[in-house]
Amino acid sequence: MAPSAKVAIGLRIGQTYSSIAIITKDGRTDCIANEDGERQIPTMIAFMGDEEFTGTQAKLQALGNPKNTIAKFRNLIGLSFDDILPETSLPTSPISNFDSVPGYIITHNSQEKSYTVSEITTKYISRLRESAEDFLGQAVDGAVLAIPLYFTQSQREALRQAAEAAGLRVLQLIHEPAAAAVAYYRGGSKDVLAVIVDLGSESIDVTVMSIRSGMYTILGTTHSPQVGGNAFDDLLVTHFSSEFKRKTGIDISSNKRALTKLKSAVETTKKTLSSSTTALCSVESLAEGIDFNGNINRTRFEIMSRKLFDKCVEFVKEAIGNVGIEPVLVEEVIFIGGAIRIPKLQARIRDIFSHPSTVIRQELEPDEVISYGCAYQASLIINMTNTDIAERIGKDITITPHLTKPVGIVNASGNFVVVVPDNTPLPVRRVVEFSINDDQRDCYISVWEGELRLVKSDRNMNNENESQTGEDENNDNAE
């Protein structure tokens, strides 16, 4: 294919952070920063006077201007108001009900305005698109967006429409774990059974995936909002607010403003603890004009987080258990999501996969990898028409029979050699090389499936249709 001048981007809109990735001129995938230099851009919007802020600038508004600051809207898109669980602790603009459509009432330009979740999403994505275009110095021709596995059809549709309203040509929506996997394996075609552990800010998502001949199939998944980076922040908030109470006698447990300040400070403390063994937490004028200065060491943090670690371990085990496999069969574990950087958590998950042959993959930044995969996928399809893309990713094509058992050949020592592993989508073609002894004039190819023998065949080496490399006789059956 001739190189194209078209520019595509990958977008990950997380519930709390988003990122934009591109393929660089030298073929690497990289995230680009917005005008404030952020590669992880808080998924927030704030309105102040006649200005509109996104990212950290919006996050900063949550304190002084909470009513006009909007957060955590990603998961609400495409839902009806009645489907949304009331979120009481939100220090930002509350969710309003516009005829069953969720939205927000804010003051902008001294006027009261209402925006639906979709409109807010469109505003947010527009800003991401602009950041990309500023960086690239040209218009973006298309984008692939990541979505969580649990998004419903109407959520997908609503996100697509919101992104299109933001001026993006949406090439495709792909699942977050698939995006992460394709970022890691890209053009490779090696067979891997992988588990992708995503610890974001609001949930943990564990996905068991089989990768066969460069194709990706999800075998099982667990999703739970019980753990995520936020839950660790909450522990630190409790810890430091009781320390503050001990020192000053002031109870901030029902002081929303103080809690918001502390919550934002402890996120930094938590991140620091991932790379240092101690971290500070300082908040100017936490309550009644009194500053707070605390510190915590990693061990202390690990002790108070033990229950959360246990839960993470439980969800990982549940995901692989649901698929009916043992941890020893897992070849690679991919760590994604910003909160997976917590060292003790990594250690606890490694303990599940203690078999020496299981590889832990975390070379790519865990909160960027999803957008990398989107950018890569976008680069593959940017030159296709929408009709072509739709045809290629439709159910007719994706729904495919998969082998339930491995198929292989018995070697001279009587051992079963897997040629096509289980969970391989069909049809498949595999070329494998077998050899024969120098004095051998014929060979016997015995094809088995799992424990079951299917075909026995021979090839007389003097025959006209001789085959030097034993081909998998099962190809014909498989197709």
3-state secondary structure of 53: strand
Burial of 28 (0-12, 13-18, 19+ CB in 10 A): exposed
> What single DSSP character describes residue 28?
-
Q: Which of 276, 404, 466, 468 binds other proteins (CB under 8 A)?
A: 404
Short-list 58, 341, 366, CA closest to 184: 366
DSSP 141-196: -EEEEEE-TT--HHHHHHHHHHHHHTT--EEEEEEHHHHHHHHHHTT----EEEEE
Give the DSSP H/E element, type plus range, for residue 156. Answer: helix 153-165
Nearer to ligand ATP among residue 341 and residue 459 (C-beta) = 341
Least distance to other proteins, CB of residue 433, Å: 5
Site string for other proteins, 326-365 (x = CB under 8 A): ----------------------------------------
In angstroms, what CA-CA distances link 221 with 77, 354, 434?
Answer: 22, 21, 37
Distance of alpha carbon 398 from alpha carbon 215, whole angstroms = 11
Binding positions for ligand ATP, 215-234, rule CB under 6 A:
228-230
Binding positions for Mg ion, 183-242, rule CB under 5 A:
200
Distance of alpha carbon 108 from alpha carbon 45, whole angstroms = 12
Residues ≥6 apart with Cβ < 8 Å to 88: none
Least distance to other proteins, CB of residue 195, Å: 15
**Pair 125, 162: CB distance under 8 Å:** yes
Nearer to ligand ATP among residue 191 and residue 314 (C-beta) = 314
Which residue matches tokens 């070379």?
363
Q: Which of 7, 10, 11, 14 binds Mg ion (CB under 5 A)?
A: 14
> In this structure, what token pair is assigned to residue 110?
């001294």
* Angle, CA of 108, 71 and 23, to the nearest 5°: 105
Binding positions for ligand ATP, 345-404, rule CB under 6 A:
367
Binding positions for other proteins, 363-402, rule CB under 8 A:
373, 377, 380-381, 391-393, 395-402
Report the partner that residue 201 touches, choosing among Mg ion, ligand ATP, other proteins, none (CB closer than 5 to 8 A by kind).
ligand ATP
- Residue 170 engages other proteins in binding (rule: CB under 8 A): no
Nearer to Mg ion among residue 70 and residue 180 (C-beta) = 180
Binding positions for other proteins, 102-121, rule CB under 8 A:
none
Which residue blocks in 41-107 are alpha helix, DSSP H? 55-64
Nearer to ligand ATP among residue 33 and residue 410 (C-beta) = 33
Binding positions for other proteins, 195-224, rule CB under 8 A:
209, 213-219
Residues ≥6 apart with Cβ < 8 Å to 99: none
- Amino acid in position 441: R
Report the partner that residue 270 touches, choosing among Mg ion, other proteins, ligand ATP, none (CB closer than 5 to 8 A by kind).
ligand ATP
Q: Which of 189, 282, 295, 468 binds other proteins (CB under 8 A)?
A: 189
- Of 17-25, 104-112, 170-178, 298-306, the segment contacting other proteins by CB under 8 A is 170-178
Binding positions for ligand ATP, 266-285, rule CB under 6 A:
267, 270-271, 274
Nearer to other proteins among residue 233 and residue 473 (C-beta) = 473
- How are beta strands 142-147 and 8-13 bridged, if at all? parallel
- How are beta strands 359-361 and 332-336 bridged, if at all? parallel
Distance of alpha carbon 124 from alpha carbon 448, whole angstroms = 55
Other CB atoms within 10 A of residue 385 CB: 9
- Residue 174 engages other proteins in binding (rule: CB under 8 A): yes
**Pair 194, 211: CB distance under 8 Å:** yes
Nearer to ligand ATP among residue 201 and residue 377 (C-beta) = 201
- Of 35-43, 92-100, 174-182, 311-319, the segment contacting other proteins by CB under 8 A is 174-182
Binding positions for other proteins, 424-443, rule CB under 8 A:
425-427, 429, 433-437, 440, 442-443
- Amino acid in position 242: S
Nearer to ligand ATP among residue 19 and residue 424 (C-beta) = 19
> In this structure, what token pair is assigned to residue 225?
């909002």
- Residue 413 engages other proteins in binding (rule: CB under 8 A): yes
- Residue 177 engages Mg ion in binding (rule: CB under 5 A): no
Nearer to ligand ATP among residue 60 and residue 393 (C-beta) = 60
- Of 123-131, 234-242, 364-372, 457-465, the segment contacting other proteins by CB under 8 A is 457-465
Report the partner that residue 267 touches, choosing among other proteins, Mg ion, ligand ATP, none (CB closer than 5 to 8 A by kind).
ligand ATP
* Angle, CA of 333, 335 and 336, to the nearest 5°: 140
Distance of alpha carbon 131 from alpha carbon 119, whole angstroms = 19
Provide the binding-site residues for ligand ATP, judged by CB under 6 A. Answer: 14-17, 200-203, 228-230, 267, 270-271, 274, 337-339, 341-342, 367
